[in-house]
Structure 1
Amino acid sequence: MPLKNGYKTVCSGRCVVLLTVLFLSLYPSALFAQSAKGTTPSEPVSLEVLGTVLDSHGRGVANAALEVFLNGQSLEDPAGAGSVREGGKILTKEDGTYHASFLLGEELLDPENVLEITAHKPSFADNSYILEQHELTTAGKNVIAMAEIRMKRDAGPAFWLATIVFVLAYILISFELLHRTVAAMLGASIMLVVSYTLGTLNPKYHILSYERAIEAIDMNVIFLLMGMMIIVGILKHTGIFQWCAYKCYQLARGKILLLAIILMSFTAVASAFLDNVTTMLLLTPVTIEIAVSLRIAPAALLIPEILASNIGGTATLIGDPPNIMIGSYAGLSFVEFVVNLAPVCVVALVFLFVYTKIVFAKDYKKANIDDIKGFTESLRAEYRITDRTLLGFGLLVMAIVVAFFLTHSVWHMEVSVAALFGASLLFTFGLVTNRINLLELIEKDIEWTTLLFFMFLFILVAGVEETGLLDIVADWVRSLAGGNLVMSICLILWVSAIMSAFVDNIPFTATMLPIVAYLTQVIPGAENGVLWWALAFGACFGGNGTMIGASANVVTLGIAESAGFPVRFFAFMKVAFLYMIISVAIANVWLLMFY
């Protein structure tokens, strides 16, 4: 027993010693581990900031510079995930969206934190947005902050400079104080130079960037015009237009009113599918010759033709430059233009026949129709088809182009592509068969000054759009209409018509495009596109009001004056303005009845 007890005592003592040694050896390690744990930095937390910057009309603001602050400290975006950066700031994309990523410590999860986003862009008032806790979403170690920031327009130096330049350029263009291409180029270049000189020294003077200017040029419009210019330029060398004028005279058989109606009908149809300026350019000399042979004032035939050319040009997408601009901007198809505009144009043309009979009845009674047969023979000899092969191929190409226009919704192809395709086919055929002169076609038939005018005009309009002038006008129109669809239709239609009668309808239409687009979005019932049709009717029909209202008017009367038959401003307006009022009233009734 004593032995056993002694043995137990020894064993117990050894166990105590071993446990003590083990405890002493592990305790410092535990302390060190605990200490190390207390000094390790917190795990990184990802902060994702995303959202949209919108203007007062709810449209995305592109290239707005954003900064993110946490408790007053600016955050950097090391990853740059999903964001465009410039000068250390986050830039919004074209649609106004932004997305930035930040890696921060766990202190980000503190509910007492203040997260703030500031937005800045020239011509806008700076805006600061503080995110509330409910706008933050936490998912593990990720925090997502979503913010929709609204920026209001600021009528600063850039706004006033752009407005002044635009108005002065508009005056120069409208009253022909300077060639319209030069005036538009001067205005566009001034805006860009100011942006890159004064705008560099002080961002408040920045109007628009070079990239924005290039983006503003609607190449669909430019290429469509170019393609149609080439097609018409080649076709006119076949003598088809003069031959058609001779046929009109032959069909009339000495009946002057019937002759006027046939000429108006042909002019309207030709203007619907071809450039109405070119149509009048080719028909005017023949018409003057016919009028002289009948011993009546050429104006008695020319003025009805001018009115018909603008009415016919309204009927289709390609008939008049304002329609081309509207169709490209609003994404409207050739068929939509025909369905919505052509019926009104037909009715307006019928009214024009009656109006012509009333206004020019006395002139037509004075006509000398003694030798109809002899004069018809002389016209037949002078105005004949000069190249039937080229004409046949040209008409085939034109049919293909129009077919593409009509099936736009099937192919989802821009009308400019169809026009360029047809132009290239006809161009190639003419060159291969030596039927056209390349240099002559490029130099004379493609109106480069017109194409350049459109390009610079788009930049001018982009300048006042960027600085907020068009937003102010749009808000004014909306306020005046009271958000009422009927008032909006009437306002856009009649203002467009009156303005287009006295100033060039092309810059006016370009200015109205963003305004009508905004009103279409915010006015109940306008989503069917009725405001676009109101603008088209107003701009095109309004061009009939005065001799400077449309390019076809100016070209036709210029040729008449050169031939020794001038038409005075008020003499033209006395006849044309009343008919313009009648045609616009017809359009107004149509729009209110069917939309």
Structure 2
Amino acid sequence: MKRTALFCYLLFMFFVFVIPAGAAEEEKSQGPHDILVVSGTILNAQSKPVKEVEVNFYVNGAKVQLEEEVITSKAGRYEAELLLPPGTLPGAKVEIEADKPAYKSSGHILLEDVVQEKTDAEGNVNYLAHYNLTLMRAITPGFWIATFVLIAVYALIALELMHRTLAAFLGAALLLFITYTAGTFNDDYVILSFEDAIHAIDMNVIFLLMAMMMIVGILKKTGVFQWTAYKAYQMAKGNVYALSCILMVITAVSSAFLDNVTTMLLIIPVTVEIALTLKINPIAFLMPEVFASNVGGTATLIGDPPNIMIGSYAKLSFVDFVQNLTAICAIGLVFSLVYFIFLYKKDYLKAQVGDVQKMIDHLREEYRITNKTLLTQGSIIMGIVILLFIAHGALHMEPSIAAMIGAAVLMAMSRVDIVEMIEHEIEWPTLIFFIMLFMVVAGAEETGLIQVIAEWVKDMSQGSLVTAIVMILWVSAIASALIDNIPFTATMLPIVGYLTVVIPGAEHGILWWALALGACLGGNGTMIGASANVVTVGMAERAGYNISFMKYMKIAAFPTLITIILCTFWLLVVEI
């Protein structure tokens, strides 16, 4: 019985797999044939590769049946082998067609350059053809849904109708749900696939935030932040205005050499301690600091993610950024110091300073280092992490890796309870907000909204260097205040690269500085415009001090506008 069953099973496998495979191989080996190999790359209007495009071929109007679908890779490349009856080529009309949701179909495009390569031993005549094509975006229902969801998420956050994390979560879930329901029956409703959503999450940002939260959480146990609060107050000698300026300058300089998110993670606990000591609202210090963080981070290659992307794409060095951006960033910082001192003058006047020397003595006694061994370990690890941040470009290493190894080693050395650390020190609502916001922005990018904005800049410049500078600077600033500046910068890179070549006078790279200033400084405008802003709002909320969307924008919109105006004059007067 068992042998009979085994024989039947083997017979079944033979008929299902062996015979069809052999028949297919026999059909392929039956010759001679005309074998046409077609390859190429499919790009969008911004010259970026388009992945997952379905490519079909037609010979004399009839669709060629291939063994496997031809789909473009992540690099936008495709390759297909067409097995045709002998004598078909070179006289036949061979056409290519490319289709993808959210893009216009290419239609049937004639392959004109079909080249005969050789005739092999079996008599097959081999031909080659290479064709690159550009797909244009289509305004589909998915485009309008993604646009509506993006606006709705920001509106829910701005009007405080729900928590920002829930708003982003709801938006991301809605995009995915529509894609896998309505999009299953109609490609026009495809917005964002699950794979693209996962790919859109910048895990470098997530891991960097998480690891730095852990490092800061361990260092808090040493009392170093309280001690720093005392030293800052001692340097200011009781002058709250000077204290605010000192904190802003420290934040700006630190952000130029660290990423601004890490800087805010380190400076916020210190700031809260200082404010509570002076009996004033910490927001009066936090808002000037986060503004200074974004201004300082703009000055160098490693200070802000858009600068890292621009430097890599345009082959710009650390020195290039310092030479071209440090001066205008310093001017912007001076303006910021003056503006925020006047803005929070009433808050600073309420500070309970009293006897300065007595307060310094009290702070010295109250805020001591509680664990010198742990502080020594943490300082060494933090110093190594900072060095790795500075050298990460040369090491081809993501900044998050430096933070992760630092956090892991420090956790092992300090023997801190990791469960307690994960539960109490990591800002999970902030991390989830980042994850979901990446997905919502990816939906807008996949359906073409961000590309529409970028293409508009290209068309409006019309070959004028001055127009191109102003457009790139201001559009980047406005867009970066509303959406994450990283995907927008990625979209703008080929546009700026093209304009740098074709516009007279732009070959010296001034358009790159316009993009850097707009993308980095524009993020100051709203609480979701830059990663540092989101972190600051989240940590302030955890400390019991809420900063609403509208409140943030009311405080930051005017100085953001002025700094962009200053950048405009700088680029047009000094850089040109």
Instruction: With the length of structure 1 as denominator, give the TM-score of the two structures.
Output: 0.76
Deviations 1:124-162 (A, max 9, x none): 222233435444445331111222233222212222222
Aligned to 1:282: 269
Q: Pick closer, same or farther for the CA change 1:367–1:215 going to 2, 3 Å.
A: closer
Aligned to 2:372: 388
Q: 2:200 aligns with which of 205, 208, 216?
A: 216
Q: 1:91 aligns with which of 41, 56, 71?
A: 71
1:74 aligns with 2:63: yes
Aligned to 1:180: 164
The CA distance in 2 between the partners of 1:90 and 1:48, in whole Å, is: 12
Q: CA deviation at 1:393?
A: 1.7
Matched residue SS, 2:51: coil
Q: CA deviation at 1:256?
A: 4.5
CA contact (8 A) 1:192 1:207 kept: yes
Q: 2:446 aligns with which of 458, 462, 466?
A: 466
Q: CA deviation at 1:262?
A: 2.6
CA contact (8 A) 1:461 1:510 kept: no
Q: Pick closer, same or farther for the CA change 1:527–1:179 going to 2, 3 Å.
A: farther
Question: How do 1:23-34 residues align onto structure 2 when only pairs under 5 Å count?
Answer: none
Q: CA deviation at 1:442?
A: 0.8
Instruction: With the length of structure 2 as denominator, give the TM-score of the two structures.
Output: 0.79
Residue identity opposite 1:152 in structure 2: M
Matched residue SS, 1:109: coil
Residue identity opposite 2:107 in structure 1: S
Matched residue SS, 2:97: strand
Q: Pick closer, same or farther for the CA change 1:115–1:389 going to 2, 3 Å.
A: same
1:522 aligns with 2:488: no
Residue identity opposite 1:158 in structure 2: G
1:513 aligns with 2:489: yes
Question: How do 1:394-409 residues align onto structure 2 when only pairs under 5 Å count?
Answer: 394-409=378-393
Q: CA deviation at 1:531?
A: 5.3
Aligned to 2:83: 103
Matched residue SS, 2:108: strand
The CA distance in 1 between the partners of 2:286 and 2:435, in whole Å, is: 31
CA contact (8 A) 2:102 2:142 kept: yes
Residue ranges of structure 2 left out of the alignment (5+ in a row): 1-29, 120-124
The CA distance in 2 between the partners of 1:528 and 1:418, in whole Å, is: 34
The CA distance in 2 between the partners of 1:149 and 1:75, in whole Å, is: 20
Q: CA deviation at 1:311?
A: 3.2
Residue identity opposite 2:564 in structure 1: V
- Per mean C-alpha deviation after superposition, the further-off stretch among 396-405 and 540-549 is 540-549
1:448 aligns with 2:435: no
The CA distance in 2 between the partners of 1:282 and 1:176, in whole Å, is: 26
CA contact (8 A) 1:276 1:310 kept: no
Aligned to 1:16: none
Q: 1:121 aligns with which of 96, 100, 110?
A: 100
The CA distance in 2 between the partners of 1:207 and 1:297, in whole Å, is: 43
1:482 aligns with 2:469: no
Q: Pick closer, same or farther for the CA change 1:338–1:388 going to 2, 3 Å.
A: farther
CA contact (8 A) 2:310 2:516 kept: no
Residue ranges of structure 1 left out of the alignment (5+ in a row): 1-40, 79-84
The CA distance in 1 between the partners of 2:353 and 2:451, in whole Å, is: 59
Q: CA deviation at 1:366?
A: 8.6
The CA distance in 2 between the partners of 1:540 and 1:175, in whole Å, is: 25
Larger radius of gyration: 1
Q: Pick closer, same or farther for the CA change 1:266–1:151 going to 2, 3 Å.
A: closer
Deviations 1:215-241 (A, max 9, x none): 222222222222222222222232222
Q: Pick closer, same or farther for the CA change 1:402–1:561 going to 2, 3 Å.
A: closer
Aligned to 1:151: 135
What is the percentage of aligned positions where both structures have the same residue? 41
Q: CA deviation at 1:176?
A: 3.6
| RMSD, aligned CA | 3.8
Residue identity opposite 2:233 in structure 1: Y
Aligned to 2:242: 258
Deviations 1:231-276 (A, max 9, x none): 2222223222221121122223344543343333334345553635
Q: CA deviation at 1:200?
A: 1.6
Q: Pick closer, same or farther for the CA change 1:397–1:202 going to 2, 3 Å.
A: same
- Between the two proteins, the alignment pairs up a number of residues equal to 528
1:327 aligns with 2:327: no
Question: How do 1:157-556 residues align onto structure 2 when only pairs under 5 Å count?
Answer: 157-270=141-254, 273=258, 275-279=262-266, 281-292=268-279, 304-305=288-289, 307-315=291-299, 323-324=304-305, 327=308, 331=312, 335=318, 339=322, 341-355=325-339, 371-431=355-415, 436-497=416-477, 507-510=483-486, 512-524=488-500, 533-538=513-518, 540-542=520-522, 550-551=533-534, 554=537
Residue identity opposite 2:242 in structure 1: L
Matched residue SS, 1:278: helix
The CA distance in 1 between the partners of 2:98 and 2:286, in whole Å, is: 58
Residue identity opposite 1:123 in structure 2: A
Q: Pick closer, same or farther for the CA change 1:464–1:100 going to 2, 3 Å.
A: same
